[in-house]
A and B are shown apart, each in its own frame.
Chain A
Amino acid sequence: AQSVSQHNHHVILSEAASLELGCNYSYGGTVNLFWYVQYPGQHLQLLLKYFSGDPLVKGIKGFEAEFIKSKFSFNLRKPSVQWSDTAEYFCAVNGGNTGFQKLVFGTGTRLLVSP
């Protein structure tokens, strides 16, 4: 079955530390990749997306992600986190043999940034 894996369930960082959250998917073929963020008490918002082209994608709030097709990965990075980045982060994929109409989400990574 198709799946999206986020290996880190909980991450705790101090402000100004660098962040990398892992995301791997199990599809072959063409995929679209997304990172969504859920701030405490809020709904999911799109952080960044990859459809095609440059595999290094820049999103909002200084986040970026790199698509490495050979590794089936789409890791999220930020050079220097802030307290306001405390949130839950979800990787999502569509395409492959599930088609492009549905998103499959990873289980999420809860990030806590201490001041």
Chain B
Amino acid sequence: DADVTQTPRNRITKTGKRIMLECSQTKGHDRMYWYRQDPGLGLRLIYYSFDVKDINKGEISDGYSVSRQAQAKFSLSLESAIPNQTALYFCATSAATGSPGLQFFGPGTRLTVL
């Protein structure tokens, strides 16, 4: 869905490097989420934000940080990347009202940490 975009789409980096993954949306949604997907583990929530001033940890936030620069932008940072952070990362958005839990996903960023 072109309404939620992620950059970069692929990234290979080395252990110890700082990495930022960016997410932008044109859906006008207040809520944004970062997930990582690992084979056999499904999607796990890293961080979520209900508005610009609201940031919440998900189930696996250690080693990650986020920044909600604007309603439309939500960035995920790995301050010092490690190999077990190799995964597919998805950003998602949802509206504050209407269908609860209905989320719209970006295309994903495939991150490899060597």
Chain A residues within CB distance 8 Å of chain B: 6, 9, 32, 34, 36, 42-46, 49, 51, 90, 92, 94-95, 100-103, 105-108
Contact A101 B107 (CB under 8 A): no
| B43 contacts across to A, CB distance below 8 A | 44, 90, 105
Of listed A45, A51, A103, A106, residue having the most chain B CB within 10 A: A103
Contact B42 A103 (CB under 8 A): no
Q: How far is the CB of A86 from chain B (nearest CB, A)?
A: 16
Chain B residues within CB distance 8 Å of chain A: 1, 31, 35, 40-45, 48, 50, 58, 90, 92, 99-103, 105-108
Q: How far is the CB of A4 from chain B (nearest CB, A)?
A: 8
Cα(A100)–Cα(B102), bound, Å: 10
Contact B42 A100 (CB under 8 A): no
Contact A44 B100 (CB under 8 A): no
Q: How far is the CB of A7 from chain B (nearest CB, A)?
A: 13
A94 in contact with B40 given A44-B90, A102-B48 (CB within 8 Å): no
Contact B106 A94 (CB under 8 A): no
Q: How far is the CB of A47 from chain B (nearest CB, A)?
A: 12
Contact B105 A108 (CB under 8 A): no
Closest-by-CB residue of B relative to A42 is B107
Q: How far is the CB of A24 from chain B (nearest CB, A)?
A: 14
A43 in contact with B107 given A92-B101, A100-B100 (CB within 8 Å): yes
Closest 4 CB pairs of A and B: A94-B101, A107-B42, A100-B100, A105-B43
| B101 contacts across to A, CB distance below 8 A | 32, 34, 49, 92, 94-95, 100-101, 103
Q: How far is the CB of B76 from chain A (nearest CB, A)?
A: 16
| B102 contacts across to A, CB distance below 8 A | 34, 46, 49
